């Protein structure tokens, strides 16, 4: 079945440093979504990318969807302590039903 991997599993940065998490799917995706989950909380939708090569920005966050629609990345510029949490990508296969398959997640810790 479809597998979605993320690297790194964990990253600890100092406040102000940049952060990037990479998402790779074993199959071509129709679209990809990104979520943030704070400790003890539930996933919160951040963004959806649909088009091949698409790039979207939300303030300090930059999201990219690969040309082959099998990978994606999330880059945070100048991290803040409020960025702490686990970031998940979630993709839908190009065929079949609209179920989301979540990536393995990247846990981000930001020290002041």
Binding site for another protein (CB under 8 A): 1, 30-31, 33, 35, 41-45, 48, 50, 88, 90, 92, 97-105, 107
State the nearest-atom distance from the C-beta of 2 to another protein, in Å.
Answer: 10
Residue 99 Cβ, how far from another protein at the closest point, in Å?
6
Q: Which is nearer to another protein, 9 or 81 (CB)?
A: 9
Q: How far is the CB of 67 from another protein (least distance, A)?
A: 20
CB of 83 to another protein, least distance (A): 18
Q: Which is nearer to another protein, 5 or 77 (CB)?
A: 5
Number of CB atoms found within 10 A of residue 85's CB: 20
- Please give the Cα distance from 109 to 85 (Å, whole number): 7
38-66 as b/e: b if 16+ CB within 10 A: eeeeebeebeebeeeebebeeeebebbbb
- Using the minimum distance from each CB to another protein, give the nearer residue, 50 or 78: 50
How far apart, in whole angstroms, are the C-alpha atoms of residue 95 and residue 86? 28
Report the 10 Å Cβ neighbour count for 80: 12
């Amino acid at each position: 079945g479809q597998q979605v991997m993320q690297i790194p599993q964990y990253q600890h940065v100092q406040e102000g440093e940049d952060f990037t998490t990479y998402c790779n799917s074993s199959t071509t995706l129709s679209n990809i979504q990104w979520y943030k989950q704070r400790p003890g909380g539930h996933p919160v939708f951040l963004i959806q990318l649909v088009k091949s090569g698409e790039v979207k920005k939300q303030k300090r966050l930059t999201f990219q969807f690969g040309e082959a629609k099998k990978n994606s990345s999330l880059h945070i510029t100048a991290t803040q302590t409020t960025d702490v949490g686990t970031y998940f990508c979630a993709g839908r296969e190009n065929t079949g039903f609209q179920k989301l398959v979540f990536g393995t997640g990247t846990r981000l810790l930001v020290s002041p």
